[in-house]
């Protein structure tokens, strides 16, 4: 397919598009389903004040929630997928808006449910389960609702906290608007005098340039602009952590970290173990930094040299058919049943493959998994796109297994484990490609791709997590987060993580202001833990074979039937210990050693 001139959606051959008729045969069928779903708010409201009256009533309500979940999964995703295949399709945007409005209405009608279920006395709820065996399937979601009940306040206080919650998103919204809409960077020059527009979107692309002067100019200009607004940005981040401290105190948690992780059922030790394990393996990062300095041939390695490739381009053209065949071959270690699902996705139009005018950028696996998952790609004929295919099909097949083997109420999986299956596929593909080639240039190109993933996902995200932990402690101790103390803390950590061969330019002390994730609540560590767990699982699969594959498929089939740490234990990985992270970084070290050997 010629991707130079983007085709209109109507010009894309059908075989390269996903088949939305598997959800609804046409828009008329979708409209009817939406009209039918408009009855749900009234049906839900009929249970208000009644959920503790009997086991039968509670069972009826939980079954209704399953029905609603299935209905809206189809309604929302059909509209979302249609709007993403062509964002210029006004009708699809209207459909998506209608779906969202209907979801808001039903969620508003059911706002009473969690507080009511939490307030059912333990003995009474136990009696419900004994009396009604059919209710047992809902034990896990009910336990999840009640998990934080000691931190739930009176209905009056909860109403006030709900209203405060609407304001709590203010710092994130304000910070995002300031960074993405109001900050203007202008243009920066390359070594030949050519000018390049700089924005929050183009910054990393310019930092990947082989032109060092362009990289330096982009770096300096970007942080010059952040420096001009550093006090405003610090005040916004201070407000973010003040609201986290407010909710921590209101709900009687010991720390903002504990308050944030409690919702995901992840113990705070997992967070601390990650940081401890990475600290113990910083020598490998330092070795990588020294190798980067050597291969770039620079007297000093600066922070604007972090993203540029260190291997001369050994890229091959990889068309979609070749990518499919290679991914299929690499994942054959997961058994014929896994490959059969992969083939079903390849052959039955689960995937929207190529870019077209107005199509959403990037790639994803959809939330819908009934009748099957859908995958959006914008495939280019290169290595990155082949890894993206493996990654997104990992998500899709995880969803497929969870849906097939779990009841509706536990068929979804939480964010802590969400990136595991996708990254397992990437690791298996990388190992397969390395096994197939002895060409030094190609091996170096592949290893560099993998090392960059490790560096960006484990080391960098852990540095972010440690910074977040430090500023959380400062906020809990009633210290104001000022630009000066934020910059000092960030520069200290940057020096610690990059080591002696990196010049930690003063400008990098302002990087905290550029990272939107600091306005989430302790989120970034999950990138590092998910990547580490996936590496550990892939290594087990390749070393142990069938027993490890069987355990991994059980994990894929478990949805949210257990807490996330217990789910990963099924696959043989204990994230409550530092071991998986340490093992992953041991592999990182081995790859750095091989890279050093190849490059002489």
pLDDT tens digits, 561-570 = 999 999 999 9
- pLDDT in the model for residue 366: 92
State the pLDDT confidence band at 18, using cuts at 50, 70 and 90. Answer: very high
CA 498 to chain centre: 24
- pLDDT in the model for residue 313: 66
Cis peptide before 438 (omega within 30 of 0): no
Task: Evaluate whether 252 touches 464 at the Cβ level (below 8 Å).
Answer: no
> What three-state secondary structure class fits 52?
coil
> What three-state secondary structure class fits 241?
helix
Task: Evaluate whether 416 touches 264 at the Cβ level (below 8 Å).
Answer: yes
Q: Which of 116-125, 154-163, 402-411, 422-431 has the lowest mean pLDDT?
A: 154-163
Q: Which of 15-19, 261-265, 311-315 has the lowest mean pLDDT?
A: 311-315
pLDDT of 215 higher than 80: yes
Q: Which of 320-324, 517-521, 544-548 has the lowest mean pLDDT?
A: 517-521
Of the candidates 517, 526, 521, 480, the residue with the CA atom closest to the CA atom of residue 179 = 517
State phi, psi for 252 to the nearest 5 degrees.
Answer: 60, 50
pLDDT of 2 higher than 70: no
- pLDDT in the model for residue 114: 87
Longest dimension (CA), the chain: 79
pLDDT of 126 higher than 60: yes
CA 95 to chain centre: 26
Quick one: average pLDDT of 269-294?
Answer: 96
If you average pLDDT over every residue of the chain, what do you get? Answer: 93
- pLDDT in the model for residue 376: 96
User: In sequence order, which residues have a C-beta less than 8 Å from that of residue 418 and are 6 or more positions away?
Assistant: 395, 530
CA atoms within 13 A on the CB side of 369: 24
- pLDDT in the model for residue 180: 79
Give dist(CA 88, CA 357) in Å, integer: 8
Catalytic residue annotation: 392
Quick one: average pLDDT of 96-124?
Answer: 92
Give dist(CA 537, CA 555) in Å, integer: 11
Task: Look up tokens 């004994």; give the residue.
Answer: 130
Helix axes 546-556, 383-405, angle to 10 degrees: 70
pLDDT of 203 higher than 70: yes
Q: What's the DSSP call for residue 457?
A: I
Of the candidates 63, 141, 41, 106, the residue with the CA atom closest to the CA atom of residue 412 = 141
- pLDDT in the model for residue 4: 58
Task: Evaluate whether 48 touches 108 at the Cβ level (below 8 Å).
Answer: no
Give dist(CA 423, CA 587) in Å, integer: 15
pLDDT of 71 higher than 60: yes
pLDDT of 1 higher than 50: no
The pTM for the full model equals 0.88
State the pLDDT confidence band at 3, using cuts at 50, 70 and 90. Answer: very low
Task: Evaluate whether 341 touches 397 at the Cβ level (below 8 Å).
Answer: yes
Quick one: average pLDDT of 529-554?
Answer: 96
- Return the bridge partners of 375, or none: 351, 365
Q: Counting Cβ atoms within 10 Å, is residue 77 exposed (0-12), middle (13-18) or buried (19+)?
A: buried
- pLDDT in the model for residue 23: 98
- pLDDT in the model for residue 81: 97
Q: Give the domains, in start order, of the chain with CATH numbers.
A: 9-146 (1.20.140.70)
pLDDT digits (tens, 9 = 90+) for 439-485: 888 898 899 888 998 999 999 999 999 999 999 999 999 999 999 99
> What three-state secondary structure class fits 563?
coil
- Return the bridge partners of 189, or none: 195
Give dist(CA 149, CA 252) in Å, integer: 11
The string over 261-273, giving b where at least 16 C-beta atoms fall within 10 Å of a residue's C-beta and e elsewhere, is bbeebbebebbbb
Residue 515, both tokens: 């990272």
- Return the bridge partners of 503, or none: 302
């Amino acid at each position: 397919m010629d991707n130079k001139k983007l085709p209109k959606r109507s010009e894309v051959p059908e075989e390269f598009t996903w088949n939305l008729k598997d959800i609804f045969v046409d828009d008329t069928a979708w409209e009817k389903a939406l009209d039918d779903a408009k009855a749900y708010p009234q049906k839900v409201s009929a249970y208000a004040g009644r959920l503790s009256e009997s086991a039968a009533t509670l069972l009826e309500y939980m079954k209704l929630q399953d029905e609603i979940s299935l209905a809206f999964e189809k309604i929302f995703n059909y509209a979302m997928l249609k709007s993403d295949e062509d964002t210029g399709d006004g009708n699809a945007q209207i459909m998506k808006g209608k779906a969202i409005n209907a979801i808001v209405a039903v969620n508003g009608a059911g706002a009473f449910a969690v507080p009511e279920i939490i307030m059912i006395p333990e003995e009474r709820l136990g009696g419900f389960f004994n009396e009604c065996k059919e209710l047992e399937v809902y034990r896990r979601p009910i336990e999840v609702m009640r998990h934080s009940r000691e931190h739930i306040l009176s209905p009056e206080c909860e109403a006030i906290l709900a209203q405060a919650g609407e304001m709590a998103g203010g710092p994130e919204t304000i910070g995002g608007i300031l960074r993405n809409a109001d900050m203007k960077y202008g243009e920066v020059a390359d070594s030949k005098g050519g000018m390049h527009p700089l924005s929050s979107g183009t910054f990393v692309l310019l930092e990947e340039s082989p032109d060092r002067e362009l990289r330096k100019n982009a770096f300096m200009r970007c942080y010059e602009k952040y420096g001009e607004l550093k006090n405003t940005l610090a005040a916004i981040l201070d407000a973010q952590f003040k609201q986290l401290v407010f909710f921590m105190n209101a709900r009687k948690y010991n720390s903002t970290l504990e308050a944030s992780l409690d919702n995901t059922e992840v113990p705070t030790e997992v967070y601390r173990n990650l940081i401890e394990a990475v600290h113990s393996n910083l020598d490998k990062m330092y070795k990588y930094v020294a190798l980067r300095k050597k291969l770039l041939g620079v007297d000093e390695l600066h922070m604007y040299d972090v993203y540029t490739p260190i291997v001369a381009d050994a890229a091959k053209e990889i068309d979609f058919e070749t990518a499919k065949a290679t991914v299929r071959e690499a994942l054959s270690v997961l058994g014929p049943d896994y490959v059969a699902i992969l083939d079903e996705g390849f052959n039955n139009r689960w995937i929207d493959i190529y870019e077209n005018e107005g199509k959403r950028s990037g790639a994803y696996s959809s939330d819908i998994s009934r009748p099957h998952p859908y995958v959006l790609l914008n495939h280019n004929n290169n290595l990155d796109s082949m890894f993206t295919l493996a990654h997104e099909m990992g998500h899709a097949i995880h969803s497929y297994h969870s849906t097939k083997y779990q009841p509706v109420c536990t068929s979804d999986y939480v964010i802590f484990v969400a990136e595991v299956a996708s990254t397992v596929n990437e690791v298996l593909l990388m190992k397969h490609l390395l096994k197939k080639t002895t060409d030094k240039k190609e091996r170096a190109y592949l290893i560099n791709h993998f090392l960059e993933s490790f560096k960006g996902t484990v080391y960098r995200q852990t540095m972010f997590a440690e910074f977040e932990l430090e500023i959380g402690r400062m906020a809990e101790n009633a210290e104001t987060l000022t630009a000066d103390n934020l910059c000092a803390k960030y520069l200290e950590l940057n020096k610690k993580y990059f080591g002696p061969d990196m010049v930690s330019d003063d400008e990098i002390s302002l990087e905290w202001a550029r990272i939107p994730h600091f306005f989430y609540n302790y989120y970034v560590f999950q990138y590092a833990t998910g990547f580490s767990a996936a590496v550990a699982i892939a290594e087990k699969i390749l070393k142990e074979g069938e027993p490890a594959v069987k355990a991994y498929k059980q994990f894929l089939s478990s949805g949210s039937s257990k807490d996330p740490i217990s789910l990963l234990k099924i696959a043989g990985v204990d994230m409550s210990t530092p071991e998986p992270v340490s093992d992953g970084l041991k592999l990182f070290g081995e790859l750095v050693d091989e890279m050093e050997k190849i490059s002489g």
